Structure 1
Amino acid sequence: MRVAAEQRIVKRRMDEYLWWEKSAANVRLRALLRKHFLDFDRVAIVGGMVRDIARAGKCAFHSDIDLVIEAPAQAVAEVAARNGARNNQFGGYSFSADGWKLDFWAMETTWAAREGHVQVCRLEDITRCTFFDWDAILYDLKERKVICADSYLDDVRRGTMDISLLPNPSHLGNLYRAVRRILAWDLEPGPRLMAFIDKYLDDDGFEGVVREESKRCKQRFLHTFGDARTLRSHLACRDDRRQISTAYAKQMSLPGMTHLAA
């Protein structure tokens, strides 16, 4: 499936996956959302799920679900307490149930808002809070609408990923995600992202992303690049990576590894 041509197509894909899909897993997901989150006036899925379904359809999504809630922090904390949710490392909560893992935040406790990098007053402001511009997309569960910049799908179709908000709570974590996405999805890093890679992907950074992969993935490949310089060159040059794309595409376990349409 190709990148959605218009926001209405993203909406249709999300609507079908969340509200019409009849698989047991999706039925359980609907029940979880209705039980724990749909009493709030505004709550949205942010980033990964919407991004992957927008770029390649439901088969590209195999991950956790992140939600942001337009409600006071105390009200969100009460939901967390009722479900035995634990604190996650970025100021929100996390719990697993019925085969799904959900992370959720009150808007005011999202990292960018808490640290004062973005003034967050409504769900739409969350699109300015993500490190990667490809993560700056939301699906409002109550209104069943997609929230993103007008240029969002054009950027995804071009296969160019860049940084939206540079300050972030984990340089290594975002370096690892950048490396994995560029390689697995055959992306072109934008100028801000390439500068970030050049700054942080030194010898220590290379060792760090290799360690991250070993912790997160059963199938590992990044160590085969050998050193930071070689990995940087493959990240910067699509022609270099395409010579080995079949090898690493088979070994990397990032969900939704199909290459973007040209």
Structure 2
Amino acid sequence: MLSNLPSERHLKKRIEYFFHSRKGVQANEISNFIELLINNSLEVLIFGGLLRDLTIDGLKFFKSDVDIVLDGSEIDFSLILLRISKSYNMKKNKFGGYRIKLNYWVIDIWLLSNTFAFKKKHVEYREQKDLLKTVFFNWDAIYYNYNKKELVYSKDYFESLRMLKLSIVNPINHNPVGAFRRLTRFASKINFEIDVSVVSYFSDLPLESELLNNKDRELLSKIKKHFLTSSLFPIFLCKEVQTNLFK
């Protein structure tokens, strides 16, 4: 059980602190970028690993990219991209979004309606909160509406984190290796329970994938063996198991 899990109110404070209250060049850089997005008719949704890591570990452990989803029209999105391109280096990625490299931060930004799972019809897009259905792991099913200062999350989000139960929301994943690396990153830090959906997915991930490096293959092989030798569910990635997997 995660005893120090923040409440929704406390998590909002962490988010506000991340964007507004910290001092230094790194803090100012991302705050200035967000303000550039706010000055238009698009709603800014903070999504992805930032919120998960702020929830589990707090600010000091977050070292990943910042995912930002913009909710609005294609025209408004095009206009904001034009504005961004005048001040920042921007490159289109293969999933329909854009990667923007600041001095200290890397931002991935895309239009809500162009979310990969929506475009590929893996998830039906009807309203903003359908974004929660596009995530792979349940611990990512949360976003922060920056305009409204509102957290939106799945009904069991905080409970699944409090009880440290990891499951899969949307199994159609365009980046299985990235998901595997997130799994191993989780397992290197905390003890948690793995749902049968997670076991099934990674048991089927081929070791021969050209996207895996040698370290990935070694870890995946160990995890597959651990799954096969675990006779009962739920399966846990506890400290003893982690010692064997990650030594």
* TM-score of the aligned structures, taking structure 1 as reference length: 0.79
For the Cα contact (< 8 Å) 1:176–1:209, is it kept in 2? no
* Alignment correspondent of 2:207: 203
For the Cα contact (< 8 Å) 1:2–1:56, is it kept in 2? no
Partner letter of residue 95 of structure 2? F
Partner letter of residue 9 of structure 2? R
After superposition, what is the alpha-carbon deviation per residue over 1:190-233, rounded to whole angstroms, capped at 9, x for unaligned?
A: 11111101111x4315x74335xxxxxxxxx55665x72x2324
Q: Of 220, 224, 231, which aligns to 1:232?
A: 224
Deviation of 1:183 (Å): 3.5
Find the aligned partners of 1:222 and 1:119 in 2 and give their Cα distance. Answer: 33
Find the aligned partners of 1:224 and 1:173 in 2 and give their Cα distance. Answer: 15
* Alignment correspondent of 2:18: 17
For the Cα contact (< 8 Å) 2:207–2:217, is it kept in 1? no
- Larger fraction in helix: 1
Partner letter of residue 198 of structure 1? S
For the Cα contact (< 8 Å) 1:128–1:165, is it kept in 2? yes
In the alignment, does 2:169 pair up with 1:152?
no
* Alignment correspondent of 2:77: 76
Deviation of 1:6 (Å): 1.9
Find the aligned partners of 2:14 and 2:226 in 1 and give their Cα distance. Answer: 33
**Unpaired runs of at least 5, structure 2:** 228-234
* Alignment correspondent of 1:4: 5
After superposition, what is the alpha-carbon deviation per residue over 1:29-66, rounded to whole angstroms, capped at 9, x for unaligned?
A: 11111013442341110011111101111112111110
* TM-score of the aligned structures, taking structure 2 as reference length: 0.83
Deviates more, 1:165-174 or 1:135-144: 165-174
Find the aligned partners of 1:222 and 1:68 in 2 and give their Cα distance. Answer: 29
- Aligned-pair RMSD on alpha carbons? 2.5
Deviates more, 1:140-149 or 1:37-46: 37-46
In the alignment, does 2:75 pair up with 1:44?
no
* Alignment correspondent of 2:93: 88
Q: Of 131, 134, 139, which aligns to 1:126?
A: 131
**Unpaired runs of at least 5, structure 1:** 212-220, 249-262
* Alignment correspondent of 2:68: 67
Find the aligned partners of 1:42 and 1:191 in 2 and give their Cα distance. Answer: 36
Larger RCO: 1 or 2 (CA < 8 Å, sep 6+):
1
For the Cα contact (< 8 Å) 1:14–1:53, is it kept in 2? yes
* Alignment correspondent of 1:186: 191
After superposition, what is the alpha-carbon deviation per residue over 1:107-154, rounded to whole angstroms, capped at 9, x for unaligned?
A: 111001111122324332211111111111101111112110232111
After superposition, what is the alpha-carbon deviation per residue over 1:61-114, rounded to whole angstroms, capped at 9, x for unaligned?
A: 111110111112232233223333211121111111242211111111100111
Partner letter of residue 241 of structure 1? V
For the Cα contact (< 8 Å) 1:107–1:120, is it kept in 2? no
> Structure 1 residues 64 and 243 mapped into 2: Cα distance closer, same or farther (>3 Å)?
closer
Which of structure 1's runs of 4+ aligned residues deviate more than 6 A? none
Find the aligned partners of 1:51 and 1:7 in 2 and give their Cα distance. Answer: 12
Find the aligned partners of 2:83 and 2:42 in 1 and give their Cα distance. Answer: 19
Find the aligned partners of 1:237 and 1:160 in 2 and give their Cα distance. Answer: 9
